[in-house]
Amino acid sequence: MGAAVCNWCKRLEMPIIVFAYLALIPLLSVNMASEIIIFSIYALSYNLLYGFMGRLSVGPMLFLGAGVYGAAMCCVYLTANPIACIAAGIVCGALLGMLLGPVTVRAAGAAFALVNMAFNQVGFFMIQTGLAGWTGGSDGKSLYFDPIGPLDFNKPNHVFGLALVCLLAAFFLMRRLTESPFGIIIKTIKENERRGNFLGYNIYGTKLLVYVITAAVSAFAGALYAIMFGYVTPSFISPARNIEVIFATLIGGRGNIYGSLLGGAIFILISSYLPNIIQRWELFFGLILLASVFWFSKGIPGIMDLFGPKKQDVNASAKGGLR
């Protein structure tokens, strides 16, 4: 009975996600709903690396920026076809992940975090200064994408539809990865990497593949950002913004793909509305982050569990029913 209910829930999760994001349009706006969706894709990718594999990176903006600028450079210098630009952004992120991954995945803990931050800083410098003749430097580049038949991604409603389809694809990918045997190896790395090696798993290859997938999906979100905003600036690769996706992952719950969607929405809402209420809104932001790290490691889902029935109570009631 429980398995049948679980299967029905999985069948309904996609329609529920679609309905939830459609409901945001009358409550907020089309543009903000699109931004929440795209940021949630970014959070999904980071959650795979940090939440499921346990590798805290302080440089994920590098791959988001690779997607943004990969799509932008394709639009400016090659073709303004939005699908081709998205593909170019994903390829740039994946190639960058394959280039840096063999070095970064050999590190762990603080070393892994700092190496990624260093690469992010190098990428930011290259975009802003080293390749300014191509990227526009601090001024950035304005973008215009060609329509594809009736679809004009210069219109907010069409961008929302594209972003929602892409979110469903990213969510499906993450669910299949984390629930597959490959996902078990990913979780083994987080729990006990040495034991995984002892059991004969290819731990290094798994870490490298997860790193590349994270880079590619982050770049996917970056390419969508380029289409949504219609311009690019170095702020899309700024190391100062790395905390954003870390906050979203912590508040939504590490290792929880639904939490990535929830955390992404909460972060965009806080960063958009809280500055209008509290002048020093970053202080409130920091307090939430500290609480998530020290007391609520499972994020909002963990807080909800505190008010739900305890597992012992559930087991006791189940045994009582059997008697």
pLDDT tens sequence for the chain (323 residues): 444 445 555 678 889 999 999 999 999 999 999 999 999 999 999 999 999 999 999 999 999 999 999 999 999 999 999 999 999 999 999 999 999 999 999 998 899 999 999 999 999 999 999 999 999 999 999 999 999 989 999 899 999 999 999 999 999 999 999 999 999 999 999 888 888 888 888 899 999 999 999 999 999 999 999 999 999 999 999 999 998 999 889 888 888 899 899 999 999 998 888 888 877 777 777 777 777 666 666 666 655 555 555 545 544 444 444 44
Taken as a whole, the chain contains a residue count of: 323
Please tell me the distance from the alpha carbon of residue 70 to that of residue 93, in angstroms, as a whole number: 8
> Strand, helix or coil at 232?
strand
Please tell me the distance from the alpha carbon of residue 190 to that of residue 110, in angstroms, as a whole number: 15
Any bridge partners for residue 142, and if so which?
231
- Cβ proximity of 283 and 319 under 8 Å: no
Pick among 1.10.3470, 1.10.150, 3.10.20, 3.40.960: CATH of 14-283: 1.10.3470
Residue 198 Cα distances to 11, 53, 108, 205, angstroms: 37, 18, 18, 15
Counting Cβ atoms within 10 Å, is residue 47 exposed (0-12), middle (13-18) or buried (19+)? buried
The residues spanned by each domain of the chain are 14-283
Which residue, chain included where needed, has tokens 């870390």?
Answer: 246
**Considering only CA atoms, which of 155, 138, 147, 146 is closest in space to residue 228?**
155
Cα dihedral across residues 11, 90, 41, 167: positive or negative: negative
- Cβ proximity of 301 and 256 under 8 Å: yes
Question: Taking the CA of residue 254 as centre, how many other CA atoms within 13 Å lie in the half-sphere pointing to its CB?
Answer: 18
Q: Which strand (E) or helix (H) includes residue 18?
A: helix 2-27
Any bridge partners for residue 232, and if so which?
141
Q: DSSP secondary-structure letter at 231?
A: E
CB atoms within 10 A of CB 121: 15
0.85 exceeded by the pTM?
A: yes
